[in-house]
């Protein structure tokens, strides 16, 4: 079941080495219906955000909070924050760049060459 409406929750920001993050509650991860990377939009303490939930195993996700998000929301490590997240279906690449890549001879050659499966997937991602 994919989340068709925004889901909200509170969490405390903590650091993983140097990266501020929050763990996504299990029920919220399940609501998105996807175990891999999940593009999301929503708000961090009322400030608009656009990011990607990162899989951490067992169907769970983590949300990394970059410097720009923290600055705009006026939050930092140790702060309890309110997140509201929804599926982000907007393209993550500029239309003119996508068009250029689609018509690129080099990309076309890469797609048909003997490249690794991972590289083919990355190239396909760029063109979709």
CA angle 70, 59, 48 (to 5 degrees): 25
Rounded Cα gap, residues 27 and 14, in angstroms:
20
1 falls in which pLDDT band (50, 70, 90)? very low
pLDDT in tens, 41-67: 999 999 999 999 999 999 999 999 999
DSSP string, 8-76: EEEEE-EEETTEEEEEPPHHHHHHHT-SS-EEEEEEETTEEEEEEEEEEETTEEEEE--HHHHHHHT--
Domains belonging to the chain, first-starting first, are: 7-87 (2.40.30.100), 95-127 (no CATH)
Tell which wins on pLDDT, 115 or 72.
Answer: 72
**What would the two tokens of residue 108 be?**
């076309």
Q: Which residues, in sequence order, are bridge partners of residue 41? A: 50, 86
Q: Has this prediction a pTM greater than 0.75?
A: no
Does residue 23 contact residue 11 with C-beta atoms inside 8 Å? yes
């Amino acid at each position: 079941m994919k989340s068709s409406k925004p889901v909200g929750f509170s969490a405390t920001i903590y650091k993983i080495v140097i990266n501020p993050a929050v763990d996504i509650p299990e029920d919220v991860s399940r609501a998105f219906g996807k175990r891999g990377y999940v593009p999301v939009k929503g708000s961090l303490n009322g400030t608009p955000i656009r990011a990607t939930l990162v899989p951490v195993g067992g169907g769970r996700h983590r949300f990394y909070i970059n410097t720009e998000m923290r600055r705009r929301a006026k939050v930092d490590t140790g702060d309890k924050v309110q997140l509201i997240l929804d599926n982000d279906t907007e393209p993550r690449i500029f239309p003119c760049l996508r068009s250029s890549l689609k018509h690129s001879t080099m990309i076309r050659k890469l797609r048909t060459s003997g490249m690794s499966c991972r590289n083919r997937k990355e190239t396909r991602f760029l063109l979709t």
